[in-house]
Amino acid sequence: MISVEHVNKRFVSTLALDDVSFSIGKGEIVGFLGPNGAGKTTTMRVITGFIPATSGSVNVAGYDVFEQPVEVRKHIGYLTENVPLYPEMRVIEYLSYRCAIKRIPYKDRARRVDRSVELCHLGDVRKRIIGQLSKGYRQRVGLADAILADPPILILDEPTIGLDPHQIRQVRELIKRMAEDHTVLLSTHILPEVEAICNRILIINRGRIVGEGNPDELRARIHSGTSILIEARGDGGRAKNSVQSIDGVKKVNGPFEVADEGVFQLRVDASVEPELREKIFAAAVEGGWVLRELKVDATSLEDVFVKITTAEKDTEDSAEGDDREEEAHN
């Protein structure tokens, strides 16, 4: 549905996008992550035809963005981060007006407006003036606008910004339902949201795609094993020795003493081993130390994001330093 190939975008002396390539298939919900200024919004604007790329190609629903921008826009519902609304209009008036702009047949407009109002939970405010609505409601009006024409592709830039937890859950469920018949590209800074609804994740940093895959694949990229936290009571040295002897355990850190007398912690780095927790429990019984807590310390998506974007920055800084050294030497 979306194919981006070797796209570059330069603003005067700034290279905002640097050889960006990726593809998104029908029915996928893809999370688009990156630090502020990384190039997320620029990429979305290039895909939707709001700004042209300096070079490269973008194909949306079989149409070339640069050669057939009008056809591309017919197939996209785009929710911008700061939704441009008419504050003096009522919600129902605005959505009806947007139907006309999108050239939805007159006989279908009332049905399309009612559907969008229902899906975005705007029934209570459908006759309210937009300028009097809260930011969360205005965001939902923007989302209703994006889905009015039932486009096959939705591009959503921070769709849940300003919403309360209940509203966020409603929008998440809406996006999941829409993905049954639509392709969704979703940009957000709320990482648990990405983990909850996205099939795949793209990470962009300094204008380049630096990570791609589902959450488990990205976790495996920065962590090759499992980390298990153990809290126990007894002889910490004996416990450490018994855990170290378990097949699959690579390293044991600790024991670290905690507040209660005789209580200690171990952190176990291990290869992926489904039965490892059972083996640790058996070692505790055999070794005579009391197991109080055993917890798998899973790598979070936040850890992945920070690790990948930081590593990319460190690599660039090192390369720039090498270039400066070479120039100085010459």
pLDDT tens figures, 194-237: 888 898 999 999 999 999 998 878 877 766 567 888 899 888 89
Angle at 316 between CA 310 and CA 322, to 5 degrees: 135
pLDDT tens figures, 264-300: 888 887 765 667 888 889 999 998 889 888 887 767 7
Place of tokens 């407009």: 109
318: its two tokens: 């090192």
19: its two tokens: 């050889």
So what's the pLDDT on residue 53? 95
Q: Let me know how long the chain is.
A: 330
H or E stretch including 211?
Answer: strand 208-213
So what's the pLDDT on residue 248? 81
Q: What is the rounded CA–CA span in Å between residue 220 and residue 226?
A: 10
User: Which stretches of the chain score pLDDT less than 50?
Assistant: 318-330
Q: How many CB atoms lie within 10 A of CB 112?
A: 21
Domains of the chain, start order:
2-220 (3.40.50.300), 224-296 (3.30.70.1340)
So what's the pLDDT on residue 51? 93
So what's the pLDDT on residue 225? 62
pLDDT tens figures, 296-315: 776 778 878 888 888 655 55
